[in-house]
Amino acid sequence: MRTPRTLEVWKLGTVNYLKSLKLQDKLVSERKANRIPDTLLSLQHPPTYTLGKRRTDHNLLIPEAELKSIGAELHYTQRGGDITFHGPHQAILYPILSLRSIGFGARSYVEALERSMIEFSSLYGVKARAGNKCETGVWVGDRKIGAIGVRISSGITCHGLAFNIDPDMKYFEHIVPCGIADKEVTSLRRETDAQLPSEEVIHEQLVTCLAKVFSYDDVVVKEDPSAILNTLEDDD
Amino acid sequence: MAARFLWASRAASHLRISVAQRGFASVVLKDLKYADSHEWVKIDGNKATFGITDHAQDHLGDVVYVELPDLGRSVSQGESFGAVESVKATSDINSPVSGKVVEVNEVLTESPGLVNTSPYEEGWIIKVELSDAGEVEKLMDSDKYSKFCEEEDAKH
């Protein structure tokens, strides 16, 4: 009989990117030491461009110096994937999971993240699909609605997925999104006429879809973000 | 997929393979040692060559980038020394033994896919000078590793 598996979910609201990186580093160590269960961060970022390990900054189309004037930051990370934009009205999930405990490898993990976003899209009648080879992510036709960029160290995941609810699409014009030049970026708002509920509800639905795809038995939601965000202040 | 199966069958006919309960078996070579993070190591006197196993490359997907360490750098058993990227995921590669990096497989910079198509031969990642030969005792032999892979896959 399989031991019941628990996912602990932290709803963090809007979090500065660097702060979220620090938090993930801390949680990855905790997860590796088995001091916490599989954990999921549900959040948004202020306008932020990020690059992956391959540092493909040729895909940033405006000078770095100009980013401040458009109210955005740029960060280099250790995740996989190319350049992307994060901002308000884009739902971000960072699962901090032990892949060994759930018997997943990188490929099956990323496919499950894609399935989570596809399930979620279907709640609004949007027919999304996983990307073709070399186009990891979630697409509606030829338009990208969800992006993935993950890091796995000692079998523990961090970074994760970003799903466009209704972000300001102008920000995507300053990059070659994910390094794919001839494809558009889209959002849930653009793909459905359905009435969208509050963003809080939308985030909860996305979390539920992920928990279902990963077969978690219990989902424990932690509503007080200050409990983990404030512990970071001490390290500054 | 067919070509890869032929390669594996040819390799398997000269070597022992693990027969998993389901589908295609990953290739495990008899004369190598294995870490539980799915790296293989070949010992040759006080030098060791390592890479990732067939099981690892299959679970990663197509490798598009390999981050190699600098020559002369120290590596420690169980610690990360580099990474591979596949399907938008970077996965750390851990060192199965401790030592000093004396050679890296530069070919992987242009042809990262060799890690998938030839994980035990052309896809080797680094060579080190061992600092503690005794550490090899902590690694798994091919039988133990085959069983380990079966147990891991059964969890999914």
What CATH number did the domain enclosing B41 receive? 2.40.50.100
Of the partner residues A104, A148, A154, the one whose CB lies closest to the CB of residue B88: A148
Q: How far apart are CA A121 and CA A131, in angstroms?
A: 15
- CB contacts of B83 in chain A (<8 Å) are 53, 78
The tens digit of pLDDT for each residue in B98-120 reads 999 999 999 999 999 999 999 99
How many residues comprise chain B?
Answer: 156
Mean pLDDT over each residue of chain A, to the nearest integer: 93
Question: What pLDDT, on the 0 to 100 scale, is given for residue A213?
Answer: 97
State pLDDT tens for residues B45-56: 999 999 999 999
> Which tokens go with A5?
């598996």
- A86-109 pLDDT, tens digit per residue, is 999 999 999 999 998 888 999 999
- Does the structure show a pLDDT above 90 at B97? yes
Place B154 in a pLDDT band, splitting at 50, 70 and 90: confident
CA of B10, closest CA in chain A: separation in Å?
26
Question: Tell me: the pLDDT tens digits for B3-43?
Answer: 555 565 555 555 545 444 444 578 999 999 999 999 999 99
> Which residues of chain A from 52 to 111 reach within 8 Å of chain B, CB to CB?
52-54, 78-81, 100-110
**How many domains does chain B fold into?**
1
* ipTM metric: 0.90
Radius of gyration of chain B (CA): 15
Answer yes or no: is B21 within a domain.
no
Asked if B152 has any chain A CB less than 8 Å from its own CB, the reply is yes
Q: In chain B, what residues touch A52 (CB-CB under 8 Å)?
A: 85, 88, 90
In a domain, B24, yes or no: no
Q: Specify the pLDDT at position B11.
A: 59
Cα angle, residue A160 at apex, residues A159 and A162 outer, rounded to 5°: 115
The verdict on residue B80 lying in a domain is yes
- Residue B6 in any domain: the answer is no
User: With helix as H, strand as E and coil as C, how does A65-105 read?
Assistant: HHCHHHCCEEEECCCCCCCEEECCCEEEEEEECEHHHHCCC
Domain, as residue range, for B77: 33-154
pLDDT tens for A42-59 read 999 999 999 999 999 999
Catalytic (active site) residue A209 = no
HEC secondary structure over B53-121: CHHHHHHHCCEEEEECCCCCCEECCCCEEEEEEECCEEEEEECCCCEEEEEECCHHHHCCCHHHHCCCC
**Percent of chain B whose pLDDT exceeds 70:** 84
| B91 touches A at CB < 8 Å | yes
Q: Which residues of B touch A78 (CB under 8 A)?
A: 83, 90
Contact indicator for A48, A92 with CB cutoff of 8 Å: no
Q: Which residues of A touch B155 (CB under 8 A)?
A: 100-103
More confident residue, A179 or A65: A65
**What is the chain B residue with the closest CA to A110?**
B87
Hey, is the C-beta of A133 within 8 angstroms of any chain B C-beta? yes
**Is B4 contained in some domain?**
no
User: What rounded mean pLDDT belongs to chain B?
Assistant: 88
Is a pLDDT exceeding 70 seen at residue B91?
yes
**A185-227 confidence digits (pLDDT tens):** 999 999 999 999 999 999 999 999 999 999 999 999 987 777 7
- Chain A residue with CA closest to B82: the answer is A153
Q: Is residue B9 part of a domain?
A: no
Burial profile A185-216: b = 16 or more Cβ within 10 angstroms, e = fewer: bbbbbebeeeeeeebeebbbbbbbbbbebbeb
Joined together, the tokens standing for residue B71 give 């020559």
